[in-house]
Amino acid sequence: MTNFRTMNLHIDTRRIKGKRDAMIYGHFIEHFHRQIYGGIFDPGNPLSDAEGFRTDVIKALRRIKVPVLRWPGGCFVSAHHWKDAVGPRRVPGFDKAWRVEEPNTFGTDEYIAFCRKVGCEPYICTNAGSGGAEEMSDWVEYCNLPHEGPWAKQRIAGGHAEPYGVKYWSIGNENYLGGEIGAKSAAEWGRFVTESAKMMKRVDPRIELSAAALADLDWNINLLRNCGERLRWISLHGYWDGLWQDNTFAGYEASMVFTNTLEDQVARVRGLLAAMGLQKRIRIAFDEWNLRGWHHPRVDTGLEPEEYITPRDLNDDNRCYTMADAVFTACFLNMANRNCDIVGMANFAPVVNTRGCIYTHKDGIVLRPAYHVFDLYVNNLGETVLDTYTSDDPVLEVRDKAGNRAETGALDTIATLNAEGGIVIAAVNKDAANPREFRVVWPGGSIPSGYCIHTLTGTGTESCNDIDHTGAAPEPPRAAAYKPEDTIRLLPHSVNIIRFGADL
């Protein structure tokens, strides 16, 4: 039976887990369906600026202070040749990952321009499929060298005299998967990354490199033994509700079951890095993650566009993105904060359209529920994560996607300190139907006399946002007096940020 215990959250401001890097609130964009063309880049639309970028999207991304944006893939990059997408004469090509023609009108220069408009760091993922070390290192030359070499000179000739100074680069994308173009064995990958990293860092030793990885012992040992001294990051991906072929969404309860495994990959990679003595040198970039996997059925076998392209429109059904997505997103961000000592970057995949937190249409945008989670966390949560613990944790009895009985914790909490030294708690109530309460247990000393709570919820778990309809959005902040014995009440299926202190 589901229990209704009042959880105790034990807070001691002297127990600090670490400072989170703002890059855990990063995002990702790929040349898939409407993410680039008709998404962030829409020349001719009245809402776009003179360079073709959607100003409403830029404004929304600046609101959530996007710190880093990974591009151009994703699977797309494993057959993408960046040199076709720079300069005055763009060479269209057939995108062998997604089986559409790529016009290459959005390339490196446009991407850097977009990042600068948003105010975020660029993070370029390179072609480790059909490409190689020289192509990758030429890309670093194009972006980062002042004038040396033909590619830096081509950038200058194109009107970009100053180097772009791209710091973050990833070697490959999911090259461990058989379906990825240019898939490689563990042994092949270790040597490939070594030679690619060698050439890229010869061009610019200041860059920070990541490489495609997963929580697999053999893959990572081969990678790290060969290239550990050249890497600063190891890349992980996670999509819990895989919808690649079948677009049947996991319901709210099943989505809550997925939160049980959020930390699994991080824990395994943490242990491996520690065993190899690399835990102080290499951090985790969880550079693709989302509750929902992208729907792209029959990409290998479809004969007509109606079989393998048209179904991708199902990704853009706003009714599918509900409080389940918001609550899961908050639980993921809590996990990343809790592991701030080793998770230094995370990239929600994608940021616009498909499963993104922003949906574009010709007349404007829709902010899906997950967007509001980023808004709450980025603009309210503190940067110092406290090492809290809980007691009397309530448990929910739920069913997973297969209909099997399962359990999950009803509440997910973290506590932080903001720049002013105030305590800010993120508290998620996963219970679909019932409000839940928790009590803060203080170690003594000065106890706040009030708090302000920001809450994101909806009228039901299926609440969604669409054109001319908002069913899931933050409520106006509510201030309340506080005494040490008080409990804090959380609405059902809600994401909450609670700020304690006198500066409310």
- Residue 503, pLDDT > 70, answer no
Contacts of 240 (CB under 8 A, 6+ apart): 250, 255, 258, 261, 291, 328
**Phi, psi of 161, rounded to the nearest 5 degrees:** -65, -35
The predicted-structure confidence for 329-351, as pLDDT tens digits, reads as follows 999 999 999 999 999 999 999 99
**Does an H or E element contain 98, and which?**
none
For the residues of 285-304, what is the DSSP string, one character each? EEEEEEEEPP--TTTTT--S
Of the candidates 110, 121, 141, 174, the residue annotated as catalytic is 174
The two tokens of residue 163 are 């180097």
Mean pLDDT of 80-94: 95
Which H or E run contains 201? Answer: helix 186-203
Q: For the domain bounded by 20-382, which CATH number is listed?
A: 3.20.20.80
Q: Which residues contact 260 (CB under 8 A, 6 or more apart)?
A: 406, 408
Coil vs helix vs strand at 470: strand
> Of the candidates 65, 121, 3, 25, which has an alpha carbon nearest to the alpha carbon of residue 426?
25
pLDDT in tens, 342-381: 999 999 999 999 999 999 999 999 999 999 999 999 999 9
Cis link prior to 74 (omega < 30° from 0)? yes
Contact 357/316 with Cβ under 8 angstroms? no
> What homologous superfamily does CATH list for 7-14+385-500?
Golgi alpha-mannosidase II (2.60.40.1180)
Q: What is the pLDDT of residue 2?
A: 60
Q: Parallel, antiparallel, or unpaired for β 364-367 and 494-500?
A: unpaired
Query: In this prediction, what percent of the chain has a pLDDT beyond 70?
Result: 99
Q: What is the pLDDT of residue 496?
A: 98
* 4 pLDDT tier (thresholds 50, 70, 90): confident
Q: How far is CA 314 from CA 15, 203, 253, in A?
A: 46, 43, 22
Alpha-carbon distance of 58 to 35, in angstroms, equals 14
pLDDT one-digit tens code per residue, 259-315: 999 999 999 999 999 999 999 999 999 999 999 999 999 999 999 999 999 999 999
485 is catalytic: no
Give the pair of three-digit tokens for residue 28: 């990702």
Q: What is the mean pLDDT of the chain?
A: 96
pLDDT digits (tens, 9 = 90+) for 209-238: 999 999 899 999 999 999 999 999 999 999
- Single out the catalytic residue among 30, 180, 208, 288: 288
Phi and psi for 63 in degrees, rounded to 5?
-60, -40
**Residues with Cβ within 8 Å of residue 145, at least 6 apart in sequence:** 151, 152, 163, 203, 204
Are 26 and 346 in contact by the 8 Å Cβ rule? The answer is: yes
Cis ω for the linkage preceding 72 (within 30 of 0): yes
Task: Tell me 159's DSSP state.
Answer: T
Contact predicate 485/413, CB 8 Å: no
What six digits make up the tokens of 463? 């609440």
- Distance separating alpha carbons of residues 77 and 271, to the nearest angstrom: 30
> Left if phi > 0, otherwise alpha if psi is -120 to 50, otherwise beta: which for 38?
left
Question: Domain map of the chain by residue range?
Answer: 7-14+385-500, 20-382
- pLDDT tens for residues 390-418? 999 999 999 999 999 999 999 999 999 99
d(CA 257, CA 396): 10
Cα separation, 286 vs 24, in Å, equals 8
Distance of CA 479 to the CA centre of its chain: 31
- H helix or E strand, kind and range, residue 143: helix 133-144
Q: What is the pLDDT of residue 328?
A: 98
Per-residue pLDDT band for 122 (boundaries 50, 70, 90) equals very high
pLDDT above 90 (res 153): yes
How many residues are given for the chain? 504
> Would you call the peptide bond into 435 cis, given omega within 30 degrees of 0 as the criterion?
no
What percent of the chain clears pLDDT 90, i.e. is strictly above it?
Answer: 96
134 is catalytic: no
Q: CA of 378: how far to CAs of 25, 64, 182, 337, 383, in Å?
A: 7, 6, 37, 12, 9
Model pLDDT, residue 504? 45
Contacts of 358 (CB under 8 A, 6+ apart): 57, 60, 61, 351, 352, 365, 366, 367, 368, 371
Cβ neighbours for 413, distance < 8 A, ≥ 6 positions apart: 7, 9, 334, 388, 390, 425, 426, 427, 428, 438
Please name the residues in contact with 366: beta carbons below 8 A apart, sequence gap of 6 or more: 318, 358, 359, 465, 466, 467
- Average pLDDT value for residue range 164-172: 98
| Chain position carrying tokens 């909806």 | 458
The torsion angles phi and psi of 440, rounded to 5 degrees, stand at -90, 130
